[in-house]
Amino acid sequence: MRLDKFINRPVLSTVISILLVILGFIGLATLPITQYPDIAPPTVSVSATYTGANAQAVLNSVISPLEDQINGVENMMYMQSTATNNGSARITVYFNQGTDPDMAQVNVQNRVTQAQGLLPAEVTKVGVTTMKRQTSMLMIFSVYDKEDKYN
């Protein structure tokens, strides 16, 4: 591209520059700005303990019935489950971006309540915990001055 046109025609260069500045201000005014933007999907964690069971028993008797009931909850993307040999089970349910975490927790809790009858008595006695996890915040740090020299 030859730049002679912009040098020989300063009015054209000025009009293009003003147009770019106006478009920039319009774009700046219409961009959504939040202090803590959503960078990770909302998640709900379901955990249970089956005392004395190995990972395979936890998988078959705790995780499988819970997954069957939780599957298909509103705005759910996918779920991930883990079972350990000390009897603990954890199911993490990931939701679509923009889903209200409180409503997602209520919906998952309702599904877990429906599955209570399918779980072993030891698990229902200890309880199944459903809690939302906030994964959006990456890091928080603060700086302070020991001598009170700087605010």
Q: How many domains does the chain have?
A: 2
What CATH number should be reported for the domain holding residue 82?
3.30.70.1430
10 Å CB burial of residue 20 (0-12, 13-18, 19+) is: exposed
Strand-pair partners of 1: none
Q: What is the pLDDT of residues 29-67, one digit of tens each?
A: 888 777 666 678 889 999 999 998 999 999 999 999 999
Do 54 and 26 share a structural domain? Answer: no
Residue 143 DSSP SS3: coil
On the CB side of 44, how many CA atoms lie within 13 Å of its CA? 31
Domain membership flag for residue 143 = no
pTM (2 d.p.): 0.67
Pick 141 or 72 by higher pLDDT.
72
Domain membership flag for residue 71 = yes
- The residue segments making up the domain with residue 124 are 43-133
Contact 130, 109 (CB under 8 A): yes
Q: Cite the beta strand spans of the chain per DSSP E.
A: 43-49, 76-83, 88-95, 128-133
Do 64 and 110 share a structural domain? Answer: yes
